[in-house]
Amino acid sequence: MRSVIVYKSPELLEKVEKVLLDLGHEVKSLPKPSRSLESFDFIVSIGGDGTILSILQEVRRCPPIFGINSGKIGYLTHSNSTDFEDKIRIALKKFETEKFERVKCSCGDSDCLALNEIAFFGKERGKLTEITIKIDSEEVDRIRCDGIIAATQIGSTAYSFSAGGPVVEPYHPSIIIVPVAPFRFGWRPFVVRMDRIVEFEAKNPGLVIADGKKIFEAKRVTITKSDFPAVFFKRDDRIKRVFQIIRRIE
């Protein structure tokens, strides 16, 4: 099978290449992800969650990803620098995968995908912006805030969590709507099904940020379930992993 390694940490690269070659796979290594990743049978990521998110920024059709954590949190990864050899051998032997929905953010002819979240902010720092929230074309609220987040259940432990959003288990496809610094007492985040159509509209053009990367400017954005899920090698302890991550953050 054709494999590709995307690495942020070159220290592990040789060891990972050797394991894959010993298992009979073709191997290519890239220091930065590109759209060419779609043509491989599977991807090995050496880095942290940010490395995996950068891979997903480049691909629509997603080959299965195996993550080796050399970062801090490693919520999306499968192993670390000390135990990856056994775990990658087992994963490739079983070749069991799982899919997690991504969201698509659209504005006119522009769109982007995100696994964790779409964030929509006013362009002027330190200034509140009024954002109208619609779900399935129905206006549900208007709120003054610094910005607003539409997170997936996978992203519920990321930026959404730091903004006061709830933790949602990874196998419950959801869009979590969380305002950032809302100018209203008692406003709480809420969760809708992934197949809802969520719209944010501001009085003035704002910034659209997908998984931490600024994508484009827009006055109105539509967020829907993407047709291109993220695909990972299966991790049997993924639910337990959520609680481990939260305890570590606290």
Statement: 2-100+229-249 belongs to CATH 3.40.50.10330: yes
pTM score over 0.85? yes
Write down the catalytic residue from 22, 41, 49, 195.
49
Residue spans in the chain of domains classed CATH 2.60.200.30: 103-225
Residues 161-208 pLDDT 10s? 999 999 999 999 999 999 999 999 888 899 999 999 999 999 999 999
8 Å CB contact between 49 and 73 = yes
Q: Is the pLDDT of residue 247 over 90?
A: no
pLDDT at 103 over 60: yes
- At the fourth CATH level, the homologous superfamily of domain 103-225 is Probable inorganic polyphosphate/atp-NAD kinase; domain 2 (2.60.200.30)
Task: Give CA torsion, residues 70, 74, 77, 83, to 10 deg.
Answer: 50
Write the CB contacts of 99 (distance below 8 Å, at least 6 apart in sequence). 229, 230, 231, 232
| Strands 147-152 and 117-122, sheet pairing | antiparallel
> What does 101-150 look like in DSSP terms, one character per residue?
--EEEEETTEEEEESSEEEEEESSTT--EEEEEEETTEEEEEEEESEEEE
Residues of the chain with CATH 3.40.50.10330: 2-100+229-249
- Our answer to whether residue 49 is catalytic in this structure is yes
Reported as type and span, the H/E element at residue 88 is helix 84-94
Residue 250's pLDDT is 56
Residue 69: strand, helix, or coil: strand
